Amino acid sequence: MLKNGYWAVQCAGFASKWKAGEILKIVIEDQKNSVCLENEVVLTYDPENEAEAVVLEGTKENPLKYSLGQNYPNPFNAETTIEYQLPEDAQVTMTIYNSMGQEIRRLIESKQSAGSHKIVWNGLDNQGKAVTSGIYHLKMQSPSFVGTQKLLIMK
């Protein structure tokens, strides 16, 4: 459970071997049992209720691989959110193309820090004009990764 920016693990209902000051390794896998995130966190007791929860401090996500999530909502009308993960600092380019392969919008072209990120596309092209309904292609590229997704705009 996320509580005030920290993950809290309920411990009151079972005998826990976890103690304050210990390091807990958390591994999150995707549906194919491929490791997506790995965290090492220090455990402390919740100062408001010591008997109830152990708080995981310093829970910064450390992705182990590059990933480009499916935008949501999809299909969309006004705007859509795109989430992506970087296991290391990297130069990232994220571009929207139409069905003929023409560049519609350059969303990102910069050095990005390792971690989880999200960006919102408002359905505008590089000139600030609204794009028409249809299927668009998103391409994320870095020196070590290329990922694509289909985006559907319905107006």
The pLDDT tens digits along the chain (155 residues) read: 444 444 555 444 444 565 666 666 666 666 666 656 666 666 555 445 444 444 444 445 568 889 999 999 999 998 999 999 999 999 999 999 999 999 999 999 999 988 888 999 999 999 999 999 999 999 999 999 999 999 999 98
User: Do both 72 and 142 map to the same domain?
Assistant: yes
Question: Quick check: is 38 in a domain?
Answer: yes
Q: For residues 94-103, b (16+ Cβ closer than 10 Å) or e, as one string? A: bbbbbeeeee
Question: Quick check: is 13 in a domain?
Answer: yes
Domain that residue 8 falls in: 2-57
User: Do both 93 and 48 map to the same domain?
Assistant: no
Question: Quick check: is 62 in a domain?
Answer: no
Asked if 11 and 19 count as a contact pair (C-beta separation under 8 A), the reply is no
For the full predicted model, state whether its pTM sits above 0.85.
no
Question: Quick check: is 26 in a domain?
Answer: yes
Q: For residues 25 and 19, what is the distance between their CA atoms, to the nearest angstrom?
A: 14
User: Do both 30 and 105 map to the same domain?
Assistant: no
Q: For residues 55 and 17, what is the distance between their CA atoms, to the nearest angstrom?
A: 14
User: Do both 53 and 71 map to the same domain?
Assistant: no
CATH of the domain at 96: 2.60.40.4070
Question: Quick check: is 116 in a domain?
Answer: yes
